[in-house]
Structure 1
Amino acid sequence: MNFCAAPALQTSERTNAASGVQVLIKSVGGQLAAQPKPLARLHTEGTLAHEGIYDASVEAEQDLGLMRDAALAWRATGDDRYLKLVDRFLLAWSTTYQPSFDPIDETHFDAMILAYDLTASALPVKTRNVAAAFIAKLGNGYVARIDNEPRPLKGTYRNNWQSHRVKLIAMAAFTLDDRKLIDAAQRLFVEQIGNNIGPDGATVDFTERDALHYVTYDLEPLVAAALAARRHNRNWLTARADNGATLALALDWLAPYALGQKTHDEFVHSSVAFDAKRREAGVAGYAGQWEPKRASQLFHLAARLSGRYAPIALHLSPTPPAWLAVCLPVEAR
């Protein structure tokens, strides 16, 4: 396991996860006969709804979350109907999708990696092998592309795009227990902390986009990467970069905004033209004051790294997303 708790929930965990399990069973139960609809390519980055293959990509991405939720439902109940769904969807996506190595388009493949991680030991050999090969191709491909970039890293190799790359690399590495990939993940995680987070905890994305939306989008994948490492007894929350920055420092920087002690008008001075395009199109969250609840999943994830983030998470939402409640039922102490 690279991320979630033990395969069979303990009695105390079953109690804590009960509501989440029921939500997942209700959500997945009506789709047990669903057939996967994999695409060879996904593309949503830099586009609006109804542009290009945006709509088709968003629809296809639902498969990734469904297989994760089915894997969690199987783990919680032992019902093989959920396992068969995961098997069907994993095989279809692993043999159809061709990685583009655009991390914004592919960030949702973390759900597919979790689905594999939760079920690998029970999958048919064919599915297990092709899924493992796909995950290895994804993780190693991202490492190769980052390592081909000149240092110091710039542009999308130090902003939120890189955080999403690091997440996918870390989750692939720990899921496959690939020592070389794990070492690369840790090296690139610390490098991203130093490149993206300043000594005061502010991120590069906040400077470029003038938006807490992108602070959250930047930190959530880094917290996910740290959770994958934590299952292997590595503490990335406080891993310190050369400039003194840590992931914890960035979460602490965001905390007063999440608690409503500070406010921020979003994207007012963004240097990215696409932000203005989305604002003009009326996309929610691209104008006006930042809504703290948008950081709910981030702090519920962070609460699994350190219990000191639990009060913030509960302030934002009394319950975590259903998948997280089942995956990691109890907050870190």
Structure 2
Amino acid sequence: MNKTTFAFTLLLAASPAVTMAASLCQPAAANPAANALLAAAQRHLADRPVPLPHVHTEGTLPNHGIREQSIVAEKDWPLMRQAALAWRISGDPRYLKQVDEYLAAWADVYQPDFNPIDETNLDMLITAYALTADHLRLETRAASRRLISNLGNGYIAHIEQFHGQKKGTQTNNWQSHRVKLVTLAAAALDDRAMLEQAHQLFKQQVADNILADGSVTDFQDRDALHYVVYDLEPLVQAALAAKPYGGDWLNLKANGASLRAALDWLVPYANGQRSHQEFVYTHVQFDKDRAKVGEAGYSGTWDARSSATLFWLAAQLDKRYLPVATQLAARPADWISACYVK
């Protein structure tokens, strides 16, 4: 066990029990986004969940497979996070009831496939649970915990099957999304053993994915800042989830690399000092296929505004990223504002 891992293990052992809802996301009625978020939540109070046993959009073009059904079903995930935030802000029991209904429906039906691209947005379901856990019906709470635990432990088991191999999706953005889901699951459940495993996985991903100059392997493979953002955003979310446990994952160094160095590499592109033509030299045929059918963002100059969420989240780890975040978007997305902006 190296010094960084040992130190984090000591912090976990010494830290009191915390939850993601109490320590990371603290919605308040005085928040500047509260009114807008409540208005949006109000519009969806009559909605009903449409869970599927499986979702699949990764690697698919429009009207292929269950892509369209999955897109419709996945709208439940941000809706339940929004309802959970609305309940925490307002105390209105209608929103808590809606979260309970949605969590119960998905926990009863969903069967994880452990495809991290298909399942990455389950972080919203995990957050909805963490915000409401102590007030859910007992059966909903138990079922939700089983689903979240199965996700976290299942991804750990899938990673262990790599047997240390370091190629393709074992170290690119897919792994960043696996690490995020494991970390958020551990934090939401206050599972210290899982969180320590998440810490090890995060450190290994920094070593494998972030190069000495701060660029990431996805940029080499895809020639696209789109995938730099898609690679770093889940790592920032993981670092935020670990923060209340005493972990400084932003500055954690592995093989000479760090998440901070990767964010700093991207800053000149985000603030307009540099520009980039996307996917020109990508090694992935699917990128070329998406460009051919006209999917936005898969050709032309990278739109720096697409990194606004990344830098607003990063600013919650270090306020030095706030100037670039506000340059990209004057205000963060409502859920970020509701959680973090005071």
Task: Give the letter for the 2:336 counterpart.
Answer: L
- 8 A Cα contact 2:270 2:328, kept in partner: yes
Matched, 1:324 2:336: yes
Name the % identity. Answer: 49
TM-score between both structures, scaled by the size of structure 2? 0.92
Aligned residues between the structures: 324
Task: Give the letter for the 1:60 counterpart.
Answer: A
Task: Give the letter for the 1:56 counterpart.
Answer: Q
Q: How does 1:27-176 map to 2 (within 5 A)?
A: 27-176=40-189
In structure 2, how many angstroms separate the alpha carbons of the residues matched to 1:146 and 1:293? Answer: 33
1:33 Cα shift?
A: 2.2
Task: Give the letter for the 1:157 counterpart.
Answer: Q
Q: How does 1:276-287 map to 2 (within 5 A)?
A: 276-287=288-299
Matched, 1:228 2:238: no
Which aligned runs of 4 or more in structure 1 are off by greater than 2 angstroms? 3-9
In structure 1, how many angstroms separate the alpha carbons of the residues matched to 2:328 and 2:25? Answer: 29
Distance of aligned partners of 1:274 and 1:8 in 2 relative to their CA distance in 1, 3 Å threshold: closer
1:23 Cα shift?
A: 1.7
- 8 A Cα contact 1:41 1:98, kept in partner: yes
Q: Once the two structures are superposed, what CA deviation does each residue of 1:267-298 show, in whole Å capped at 9, x if it has no partner?
A: 00000000000000100010111010010000
In structure 2, how many angstroms separate the alpha carbons of the residues matched to 1:326 and 1:217? Answer: 23
Matched, 1:218 2:231: yes
- 8 A Cα contact 2:84 2:96, kept in partner: yes
- 8 A Cα contact 1:36 1:92, kept in partner: yes
Distance of aligned partners of 1:226 and 1:4 in 2 relative to their CA distance in 1, 3 Å threshold: farther
In structure 1, how many angstroms separate the alpha carbons of the residues matched to 2:197 and 2:325? Answer: 31
Task: Give the letter for the 2:152 counterpart.
Answer: G
- 8 A Cα contact 1:3 1:231, kept in partner: no
Q: Once the two structures are superposed, what CA deviation does each residue of 1:86-135 show, in whole Å capped at 9, x if it has no partner?
A: 00000000110100000000001000000000000011100000000100
- 8 A Cα contact 1:2 1:232, kept in partner: no
Task: Give the letter for the 1:301 counterpart.
Answer: L
1:231 Cα shift?
A: 2.2
Secondary structure, counterpart of 2:75 in structure 1: helix
Secondary structure, counterpart of 2:276 in structure 1: coil
**What is aligned with 2:20?**
2
Q: How does 1:285-300 map to 2 (within 5 A)?
A: 285-300=297-312
Q: Once the two structures are superposed, what CA deviation does each residue of 1:188-208 show, in whole Å capped at 9, x if it has no partner?
A: 000000100001100000000
Q: How does 1:9-20 map to 2 (within 5 A)?
A: 9=27, 14-15=29-30, 17-18=31-32, 20=33
Distance of aligned partners of 1:6 and 1:254 in 2 relative to their CA distance in 1, 3 Å threshold: closer
Q: Once the two structures are superposed, what CA deviation does each residue of 1:58-89 show, in whole Å capped at 9, x if it has no partner?
A: 11111000000100011111111100000000
Task: Give the letter for the 2:186 counterpart.
Answer: A
Flag structure 1 segments of 5+ consecutive residues without an equivalent.
Answer: none
Matched, 1:207 2:225: no
Task: Give the letter for the 1:65 counterpart.
Answer: P
In structure 2, how many angstroms separate the alpha carbons of the residues matched to 1:3 and 1:30? Answer: 24
1:244 Cα shift?
A: 0.8
Match of 2:261 among 249, 252, 261: 249
1:139 Cα shift?
A: 0.4
Match of 1:314 among 326, 331, 338: 326
1:30 Cα shift?
A: 1.7
1:153 Cα shift?
A: 2.3
Task: Give the letter for the 2:20 counterpart.
Answer: N
Task: Give the letter for the 2:160 counterpart.
Answer: D
- 8 A Cα contact 1:44 1:58, kept in partner: yes
- 8 A Cα contact 1:213 1:290, kept in partner: yes
1:305 Cα shift?
A: 0.5
Task: Give the letter for the 1:2 counterpart.
Answer: M
Q: Once the two structures are superposed, what CA deviation does each residue of 1:109-168 show, in whole Å capped at 9, x if it has no partner?
A: 000000000000011100000000100000000000101112242210100000000000
Task: Give the letter for the 1:246 counterpart.
Answer: S
In structure 2, how many angstroms separate the alpha carbons of the residues matched to 1:203 and 1:240? Answer: 14
Match of 1:260 among 266, 272, 281: 272
Match of 2:205 among 192, 213, 219: 192
- 8 A Cα contact 2:312 2:332, kept in partner: yes
Distance of aligned partners of 1:221 and 1:125 in 2 relative to their CA distance in 1, 3 Å threshold: same
Distance of aligned partners of 1:4 and 1:221 in 2 relative to their CA distance in 1, 3 Å threshold: farther
In structure 2, how many angstroms separate the alpha carbons of the residues matched to 1:133 and 1:90? Answer: 11
Matched, 1:301 2:313: yes
Answer with 31-40 or 215-224: which moved more.
31-40
Flag structure 2 segments of 5+ consecutive residues without an equivalent.
Answer: 1-18
Answer with 228-237 or 167-176: which moved more.
228-237
